[in-house]
């Protein structure tokens, strides 16, 4: 077996910590880089016993040098409340982080995968979203520090590929949930589960008719690893998400039912530029990666509810 050396930026976050764990389980050596802005050591502390795991506190807006075979670039806050907290820092993380990691990949000839997002489609006017759609993003809105940062990162990736032959892979991740989301992360699945388990009001922003398509984290990991293993000419971008679409109201009702909660649903103001609908077209991932999600919402929610239950009552 060949033990690859893999760098995961943002490796102490929700997705990153699962990715580090899976890469180690698959027999690789993993270096996890994080500045702990939205991630936490707690997410990877169980991996520290593994001699092939290394944890480094580092901010990707600063250059970093290491010899690795593959880089997964995940460093970036993903929840709207966190990425809007310091908008300038968010765009710096996406853009300068991409430049630093692409420069590193160029120098050491590593393959680099970018965790891009369905947010590059903005509030989409094409439904479901296919990779050839250019998107509908407000460049000066509340979400632009994240959306435009991720769009600029994609631009950097394709141009490092064209100009410098860097081996790149771009995936556009759609709403992903699962254990190890931060309890105060602010995203909808963790918010609703935390609220339901504590019999607090479930906060629906707007009328709850906006839609999202929720993917369980294990399906995402499989897609990421398959993407990294594709032939050099296949760079993406490729959508990785679960096409089953739900309204936010449906999600709230499901979580209340599954937790047996006494919570009431309340309506709060809809944040500006909140996308009205979102659903991935995954034909390209099916064709190129032979990938499709396997875990449906109820099954994934059961595992996630279990995790948060234990977190609240250890």
Determine contact, residues 159/98, Cβ cutoff 8 Å: no
Q: Is 145 in the site for ligand NAD (CB under 6 A)?
A: no
For position 72 contacting ligand NAD by CB under 6 A, the verdict is no
Selecting among 72, 83, 121, 146, the annotated active-site residue is 146
Q: Which is nearer to ligand NAD, 16 or 208 (CB)?
A: 16
CB contact at 8 A, 76 and 97: yes
Q: Is 112 in the site for ligand NAD (CB under 6 A)?
A: no
Binding site partner of 210, from ligand UDP, ligand NAD, none, Cβ cut-off 5-8 A by kind: ligand UDP
Choice from 7, 13, 112, 227 touching ligand NAD (CB under 6 A): 13
Phi, psi dihedrals of residue 183, rounded to the nearest 5°: -60, -25
Q: Binding ligand UDP by CB under 6 A: which of 28, 90, 175, 261?
A: 175
| Dihedral sign (CA 144, 159, 76, 23) | positive
122 forms part of the interface with ligand UDP (CB under 6 A): no
Measured CA to CA, the distance from residue 208 to residue 266 in angstroms comes to 10
Could you check whether the bond before residue 237 is cis, i.e. omega within 30 degrees of 0?
Answer: yes
Q: Please report how close the Cβ of residue 206 comes to ligand NAD at its closest, in angstroms.
A: 19
Do 153 and 91 contact (CB within 8 A), yes or no? no
Contact in structure between 173 and 220 (CB atoms under 8 Å): yes
Q: Is 242 in the site for ligand UDP (CB under 6 A)?
A: no
Binding-site member from 52, 205, 246, 307 for ligand UDP (CB under 6 A): 205
Q: Two tokens at 249?
A: 């109201």
* Residues 6+ away with beta carbon under 8 Å from 313: none
Phi and psi at 88, nearest 5°, equal -65, -40
Residues in contact with ligand NAD, shown as a per-residue x/- string from 174 to 203 under the rule CB under 6 A = -xx---------------------------
The reply to whether 19 sits near ligand NAD by the rule CB under 6 A is: no
Cis peptide before 128 (omega within 30 of 0): yes
Tell me if 216 contacts ligand NAD by CB under 6 A: no
Annotation says 85 is catalytic: no
Contact positions toward ligand NAD, by CB under 6 A?
Answer: 9-10, 12-16, 34-39, 59-61, 74-78, 93, 97, 115, 117, 173, 175-176
Q: Which residues are catalytic?
A: 146
């Amino acid at each position: 077996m060949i033990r690859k050396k893999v760098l995961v930026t943002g490796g102490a976050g929700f997705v990153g910590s699962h990715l580090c764990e899976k890469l180690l389980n698959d027999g690789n050596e993993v270096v996890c880089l994080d500045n702990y802005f939205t991630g936490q050591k707690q997410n990877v502390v169980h991996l520290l016993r593994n001699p092939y795991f290394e944890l480094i506190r580092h901010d990707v807006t600063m250059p970093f040098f290491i010899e690795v075979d593959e880089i997964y670039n995940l460093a970036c806050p993903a929840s709207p409340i966190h990425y809007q907290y310091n908008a300038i820092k968010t765009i710096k993380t996406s853009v300068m982080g991409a430049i630093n990691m692409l420069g590193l990949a160029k120098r050491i000839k590593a393959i680099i995968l970018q965790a891009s997002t369905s947010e590059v489609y903005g509030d989409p006017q094409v439904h479901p979203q296919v990779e050839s759609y250019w998107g509908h993003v407000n460049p000066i809105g509340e979400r632009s520090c994240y959306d435009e940062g991720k769009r600029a990162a994609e631009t950097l990736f394709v141009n490092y590929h064209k100009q410098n032959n860097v081996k790149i892979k771009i995936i556009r991740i759609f709403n992903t949930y699962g254990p190890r989301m931060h309890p105060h992360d602010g995203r909808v699945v963790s918010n609703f589960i935390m609220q339901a388990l504590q019999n607090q009001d479930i906060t629906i922003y707007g009328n709850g008719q906006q839609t999202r398509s929720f993917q369980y984290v294990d399906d995402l990991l499989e897609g990421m690893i398959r993407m990294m293993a594709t032939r050099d000419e296949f760079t993406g971008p490729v959508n990785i998400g679960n096409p089953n679409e739900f309204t936010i109201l449906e999600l709230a009702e499901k979580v209340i039912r599954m937790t047996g909660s006494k919570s009431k649903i309340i309506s709060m103001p809809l944040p500006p530029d909140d996308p009205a609908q979102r659903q991935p077209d995954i034909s390209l991932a099916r064709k190129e990666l032979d990938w499709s999600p396997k875990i449906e919402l109820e099954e994934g929610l059961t595992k996630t509810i279990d995790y948060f239950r234990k977190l609240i009552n250890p």
